[in-house]
Amino acid sequence: MTHTEIRVRRPHWAWFVAGVAFVALVGAAGFRAAPSVLIEPLHHEFGWTTATVSTAVSINLLLYGLISPFAAALMERLGMRRVVAGALVLVAAGSGLTVFMTASWQLLLLWGVLVGVGTGSMALTFVATVTSRWFVKHQGLVSGVLTAAGAAGQLVFLPLVANLAAHSGWRTASLAISFAALAVVPLVLIALRDHPSDVGTLAYGATTEIPLPPKGGRTASRALQVLRQATRSGTFWLLAGGFAICGASTNGLIGTHFVPAAHDHGMPATIAAGLLALVGVFDVVGTIASGWFTDRVDPRYLLGAYYSLRGASLLVLPHLFAATTEPPMWAFIVFYGLDWVATVPPTVALCRRVFGQDGPIVFGWVFASHQVGAAIAAVGAGLTRDHHGSYDPAWYVAGGLCALAAVMSLRITSHGVGKARSAG
């Protein structure tokens, strides 16, 4: 076998980049999985209300989205490697420093602001940037796999965090998350590459080099310029509105309040956390499958189906809570897991299809709306629980909003897509 033959059989460098991106996203997902299992320990130690802790979660979720489009522009200027490494350091610092907090404002600053900025600097715009730069073939599938990294992080960390918090205290859990995020930094610095040209190759499946967005200029100006262009399109508003509801019904509501809601009905927090981690298992399967479907089915129809089914499941959830896990709850966990972030690959595909090179930054703004919705739901559900003694109204409202998101997705027409291309 000749040296040339060996080189031909080597995996394309794009797969190494995707692998490093997956590991980095898993590492960053750890702290974002923690809030739901730390609400009760923080309440027990400090006496903070559910609404107070939920506000920190809300700030985290909000910044996670609002930083996203600026991070995408910063990746154009400084490169993915620097931005992602810095983001992981922020996550590690924010998580680790919580062990010293004594007042609720410190929770808001560390858990809310610092970690929100860190995770937002990666977020799903990192997925959009990787797939846009490194893949022509299998873009939808790779988007699904990388999006599933967040679920994998939840799967890995959530049971660990719950058990550490229960047996060793929430401080030990926070330090474990900090070390896990920090451990990924060397891998990112060594193996992540910004562009195929950096290693003398083309994007996977490409026959010619993909033009890169203009480099230089101010990051904020670039992100805001893309936003101004995108807002001329009705497609942008339909995507952003639907994705805001997506965030409200996942990260904001289920991700933050499922464990305390189950605990209200007598279920131990560790068991409820295990159920939420199981959502992550099926999330991996559902998101990868959604990526595969996105390469083959109109993304608009996929979004309509996903939101419709999610809304129906939320409407029945209040009737499934109990002190023990019965078969109907197992069915909900499986179903909701499959649907959790299945919306991401078709949304990324529509942003890329409509807005071209600006697609990752546009998706950043769409994702910002996702986190605005999540933040509102996190606080709103906490206030609902504090004032009404039950989460039930929050589940019903979220179910109705998902039906609205389905309608909005189906109203994205081919004509509207064409107009959006012209506007961009």
- Distances from the Cα of 306 to the Cα of 75, 126, 250, 325, 381, angstroms: 31, 23, 12, 25, 22
Q: How far apart are CA 23 and CA 231, in angstroms?
A: 34
Q: How confident is the model at residue 306 (pLDDT cuts 50, 70, 90)?
A: very high
Token readout for 232 is 């001329």
Which has the closest alpha carbon to 216: 74, 313, 335? Answer: 74
Give the count of domains, the chain.
1
**Residue 328 corresponds to which amino acid?**
P
At residue 399, the pLDDT reads 95
Look at residue 269 in the predicted model and tell me its pLDDT: 82
pTM, two decimals, is: 0.71
Residue 422 — pLDDT band, cuts 50, 70, 90? Answer: very low
Structure confidence at residue 305 (pLDDT): 95
Q: How far is the C-alpha of 340 from the C-alpha of 342, rounded, in Å?
A: 6
pLDDT value for 16 = 87
- Does any domain span residue 127? yes
Instruction: Collect all residues with Cβ–Cβ distance below 8 Å to 267 and sequence separation of at least 6.
Output: 321, 322, 323, 324, 325
Share of the chain above pLDDT 90, in %: 22
Q: For residue 135, what are the β-bridge partners?
A: 204
CA dihedral 58, 370, 28, 161 (to 10 degrees): 50
**Confidence category of residue 213, pLDDT binned at 50, 70, 90:** low
| Alpha carbons 144 and 142: distance in angstroms, whole number | 5
- Residues 6 or more apart whose CB falls under 8 angstroms from that of 47 comprise none
Mean pLDDT of 307-324: 92
What was the pLDDT predicted at 137?
A: 85
CATH number at residue 282: 1.20.1250.20
Asked if the model's pLDDT at residue 423 lies above 50, the reply is no
In a domain, 206, yes or no: no
Q: Evaluate whether residue 256 is within a structural domain.
A: yes
Residue-wise pLDDT tens digits, 93-102: 888 898 898 8
> Is residue 201 in a domain?
no
Return the percentage of the chain with pLDDT > 70, whole number.
Answer: 91
Q: What is the pLDDT of residues 31-53, one digit of tens each?
A: 666 766 777 788 888 888 877 88
Residue 2 lies in a domain: no
What is the per-residue pLDDT for 408? 96
Rg (CA), the chain: 21
CA distances from 269 to 37, 318, 324, 385 (A): 7, 17, 12, 17
Mean pLDDT over 110-139 rounds to 84
Q: What is the pLDDT of residue 274?
A: 83
Q: Is residue 333 situated within a structural domain?
A: yes
* Choice among 26-40, 108-122, 143-157, 325-339 with the minimum mean pLDDT: 26-40
* Residue 207 resides in a domain: no
- In this model, does residue 333 exceed pLDDT 80? yes
For residues 233-244, one letter each, b for 16 or more C-beta atoms within 10 angstroms of the residue's C-beta and e for the rest, the string is bbbbbbbbbbbb
Q: What's the mean pLDDT in 134-159?
A: 79
When pLDDT is cut at 50, 70 and 90, the band that residue 9 belongs to is low
DSSP bridge pairs for 204: 135
- Whether residue 116 is contained in a domain is answered as yes
List the domain range (segments joined by +) for residue 240: 12-194+215-423
Q: What pLDDT band is residue 219 in, cutting at 50, 70 and 90?
A: low
* pLDDT (0 to 100) of residue 151: 67
- Among 283, 255, 258, smallest CA distance to 341 is for 283
For the cut 90, the answer to whether the pLDDT of residue 324 exceeds it is: no
In whole angstroms, what is the distance from residue 347 CA to residue 367 CA? Answer: 9
